[in-house]
Amino acid sequence: MKNPQGFTLIELLVGVSIVAILAAIAVPSYSSFVFSGELKTAQSDAKALALQFENRYQRALSYPTVTAATNLASTFSGWAPASKKFTFSAVGTSTAYTITAAGSGSGYSGCSVVLKEDGTCTVSGCSKGNGSC
């Protein structure tokens, strides 16, 4: 009698089920990891923009006046956001500013990061990571 070669159907089903169980555990963990990374990137971008505001304050003793419609990347040539899932806007007068990063797209919509000139930073509306920065 010859030695059988290959896998039986049972062996194949056991292997496929093990891979499926591992994928069911790994995918949510990876998604959470990616979300946390994007949120930290948005916080970092907001803080970098705040440094641009503070730099202007150091030079002119007043913050630049901006509105929500201002193109921040062209106003602050030294700043470009790294986050692709958040859009940034700022409202500023000569004495104060508020930077807002609003999440957009699947899983990020409703999530926002708000940073003010006094250093207070809050995260709200996110599936996780809400509170202070």
CA angle (39 as vertex; 36, 44 as ends), nearest 5: 125
For 78, phi then psi, to 5°, come to: -85, 5
Contact predicate 83/43, CB 8 Å: no
pLDDT of amino acid 102: 95
pLDDT of amino acid 65: 93
Sign of CA dihedral 83, 124, 76, 56: negative
pLDDT of amino acid 1: 61
User: Global pTM?
Assistant: 0.80
- Mean pLDDT of the region 51-59: 94
pLDDT of amino acid 37: 92
Q: Tens digit of pLDDT for each residue in 11-41? A: 999 999 999 999 999 888 888 889 999 999 9
pLDDT of amino acid 16: 95
Please give the Cα distance from 23 to 1 (Å, whole number): 40
Q: Tens digit of pLDDT for each residue in 66-112? A: 998 889 988 888 899 999 999 999 999 999 999 999 999 888 989 99
3 state SS of 91: strand
Residues 5/6/9/15 CA torsion (nearest 10 deg): 140
Where do the domains of the chain lie, and which CATH numbers do they carry?
9-132 (3.30.700)
Please give the Cα distance from 126 to 110 (Å, whole number): 7
